[in-house]
Chain A
Amino acid sequence: MDVFLQQLVNGLSLGSIYALLALGYTMVYGIIKLINFAHGDIYMIGAFWGYYIINTYHVDFFVALVSAMVVTAILGMVIEFLAYRPLRKAPRITALITAIGVSYFLENGMSLLFGANTRDFPQIITHKTLTFMGIEISNIQVLILCTSIFLMIVLQIIVKKTKMGIAMRAVAIDPDAAELMGINSNHVISFTFGLGSALAGAAGVLIGLYYNSIDPMMGMVPGIKAFVAAVVGGIGSIPGAAIGGFVIGTLETLIQAVGLSAYKDAAVYIVLILILIVLPTGLLGKSAKEKV
């Protein structure tokens, strides 16, 4: 039982990182129906930015986190502007292939500029372990979980209460009608990329602290897993992405706990296949209904 609870705690902290990433996937998909395969690499850039700014300016965790979010938000908007906006009217597959191209560009560009080797992420927070009812929780795990949940709450407020957030949902529902309201869909799409990328940047800094090592290819697998999380939760659904992230993270650590470490990635993909067969719209996804 203790082992199970212990793995659950580990799973939740890993899952919260997947959840942050999955939110970006789902928001972008919701608004322009694009699976942004470069999303995992934005998370990598977030981690590298954290590495750079901590080593160079010796800033604390908070500054590293917020600055990484700002940098990745700008990067996300620039990518959207340069790579995806010109393809707005093109077939969906064109944008999808472009997203894969952007992903390779970021991965190999970073390898070329900074080398492909793995680096140690600076440990700005002294590692402490708390024991609670027989379960060991590190202060970093608590920090990851709290930061992620805090960011998800902020996101929820932005999407539900602000003018831009409501416009995001309006454009996702009916872009043509939104245009007739005078909503400039390009601004809204740009805002969505910024928001999603900022969360990915935050996840990058958090994973640096957690796993202690970063490299230019680090975004690939978590990117795909977060995509699976978004599909499990119901692509396009924001609460679904959060839940999907926690589900995938927990599943992965539990599989490791029962001694099947070698199959942890496979398990995630099996879940994807099962969900697509049994519940193609995901846990919270909506099937389109129309009222006449």
Chain B
Amino acid sequence: MLKVDNLTVNYGAIEAVKQVSFNVNQGEIVTLIGANGAGKSTILKTLSGVKKAASGQITFLDTDLTKLSPSKIVQAKIAQVPEGRRIFAGLTVRENLQMGGFLESKKDKQAQLDYIFEEFPILAERQGQDAATLSGGEQQMLAMGRALMSQPKLLLLDEPSMGLSPIFIEKTFAIIQKLNEQGTTILLIEQNAKTALKIADRGYVLANGKIKLEGTGEELLNNEAVQHTYLGMM
């Protein structure tokens, strides 16, 4: 479904991502794990068109995304939940969701809004409230709901567990699994490697901008090097 080929991304003179290749198949949950600065977020930013690739190719359902603008990529049905959630503080919960469906028709937007209010009752309850007044966990729900407004086929999640309490982390991952069961393909980026690998079909381990390891979620969970470096087990 998504195929990344020899992707290199630079920040000025620094190569943040070096010749990375990976793929995501329809219906999968794939995770990229790795330490801070490994290049995970840079890859996601390039996938959503906010950063441009220096070389390499990104293909999604036979469309070449490499040179497309962010809005064209949203139209291709890829949505991103950015790192730190980035909800629009000052806009109401409902307005935040409407912005998520900016490119959708009025009818699709309404249908999707109904669906999201059903999935996240807390958002329905607070729809008229300033999004800044939500708790961190509720903001995460909103950020996910907002991304779902564009009816994505592929959902990119950047560190959804960051800054959340353990209860909300669990909730968030349960929602990710549920969305996946309903047919959304997921690419998940996490520092919380253990939780991510548990729900992932496959995973890639990233270090210094390169892919070091790949395997199924279970393989990586049981891999000694991964355990040692990323799961804090000796």
Contact = CB atoms under 8 A, between A and B. Distances in A.
Asked if A pairs with B, the answer is yes
Interface of A: 163, 166-167, 169-170, 173-174, 176-184, 286, 289-292
A270 to B, nearest CB: 32
Interface stretch (B87-95, B177-185, B196-204, B222-230): B87-95
Nearest to B133: A291
Interface string B96-117: 0011101100000000000000
30 contacts: A163-B98, A166-B91, A166-B99, A169-B91, A170-B91, A170-B99, A173-B88, A173-B89, A173-B90, A173-B91, A174-B86, A174-B88, A176-B82, A177-B82, A177-B86, A178-B88, A178-B99, A179-B50, A180-B79, A180-B86, A181-B146, A182-B70, A182-B73, A182-B75, A182-B150, A183-B71, A183-B102, A184-B69, A289-B132, A292-B163
B99 A176 contact: no
Contact of A182 (B71, B88, B98, B132): B71
Contacts of B80: 180
Contacts of B95: 166, 169-170
Contacts, number: 70
Per CB-CB distance, the 9 closest pairs between chain A and chain B, nearest first, are A182-B74, A177-B86, A182-B71, A182-B103, A179-B70, A173-B88, A170-B99, A170-B88, A181-B102
Nearest to A187: B71
B136 interface: yes
Interface string B151-177: 000000000000100000000000000
Contact of A181 (B69, B89, B99, B139): B99
Most buried by A among B50, B80, B95: B95
Interface of B: 48, 50, 69-71, 73-75, 79-80, 82, 86-91, 95, 98-100, 102-103, 132, 136, 139, 146, 150, 163
Given A166-B95, A169-B91, A176-B50, A181 B86 contact: no
A163 B71 CA distance: 16
Contacts of B79: 180
A25 to B, nearest CB: 19
Main secondary structure of the interface of B (DSSP, over half): mixed
B130 to A, nearest CB: 11
A181 B132 contact: no
Contacts of B50: 176, 179-180
Contact of B139 (A170, A180, A286, A291): A291
Given A167-B102, A170-B99, A176-B50, A184 B90 contact: no
A184 B209 CA distance: 30
Contact of A166 (B73, B98, B136, B163): B98
A167 B88 CA distance: 10
A290 B71 CA distance: 27
Nearest to B79: A180
Contacts of B90: 169, 173, 286
Given A173-B91, A178-B88, A181-B150, 11 more contacts: A166-B91, A169-B90, A174-B86, A174-B88, A180-B86, A181-B100, A182-B70, A182-B74, A182-B75, A290-B89, A291-B139
A181 B74 contact: yes
